[in-house]
């Protein structure tokens, strides 16, 4: 039972344009959402996050939007740069109880930025 889904395994975008990565979740108890970026042979690195009490969070070129009623979030990257080419993972979490917090990941979307 996959509680977090990224339905697009890959996305190709031209440099300078906007990249939009999507993520859907099924568990309404999730209260925090994160995006991670992963390069080959490296571990995932944190990119941006959003609490369920917000609908938007922006950090430089990266913006995450949350639509709780649709159980959907998206990551916007604008303008897209070649260094953004990586696999992007959406992750969801529920509560922070001493050590019991865990991340539930989507299967990732491979983003390729073309020059």
Partner 1 sequence: DTAVSQTPKYLVTQMGNDKSIKCEQNLGHDTMYWYKQDSKKFLKIMFSYNNKELIINETVPNRFSPKSPDKAHLNLHINSLELGDSAVYFCASRPAGSYEQYFGPGTRLTVT
> What does the binding site for partner 1 look like in residue numbers (CB under 8 A)?
2, 32, 34, 36, 41-46, 49, 87, 89, 93, 96, 98-105, 107-108
**Shortest approach of partner 1 to residue 87 CB, angstroms?**
8
CB distance 52 to 32 below 8 Å: yes
Q: Any residues with CB less than 8 A from the CB of 23 and at least 6 apart, and which?
A: 4, 5, 6, 33, 72, 73, 74, 75, 90, 106
Three-class SS of residue 59?
strand
CB distance 33 to 98 below 8 Å: no
For partner 1, the closer of residues 3 and 78 by Cβ is 3
For partner 1, the closer of residues 18 and 96 by Cβ is 96
For partner 1, the closer of residues 65 and 79 by Cβ is 65
Rounded-to-integer distance, Cα 73 and Cα 64, Å: 7
**Shortest approach of partner 1 to residue 4 CB, angstroms?**
10
**Shortest approach of partner 1 to residue 105 CB, angstroms?**
4
**Shortest approach of partner 1 to residue 20 CB, angstroms?**
20
For partner 1, the closer of residues 44 and 86 by Cβ is 44
19-25 vs 72-77, strand pairing mode? antiparallel
């Amino acid at each position: 039972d996959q509680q977090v889904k990224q339905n697009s395994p890959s996305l190709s975008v031209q440099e300078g344009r906007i990249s939009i990565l999507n993520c859907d979740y099924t568990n309404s108890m999730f209260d925090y959402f994160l995006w991670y970026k992963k390069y080959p042979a490296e571990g995932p690195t944190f990119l941006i996050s959003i609490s369920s009490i917000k609908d938007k969070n922006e950090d430089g070129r990266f913006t995450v939007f949350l639509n709780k009623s649709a159980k959907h979030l998206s990551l916007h990257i604008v303008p897209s740069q070649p260094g953004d080419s990586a696999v992007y993972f959406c992750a969801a979490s529920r509560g922070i109880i001493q050590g019991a917090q865990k991340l539930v990941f989507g299967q990732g979307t491979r983003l390729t930025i073309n020059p």
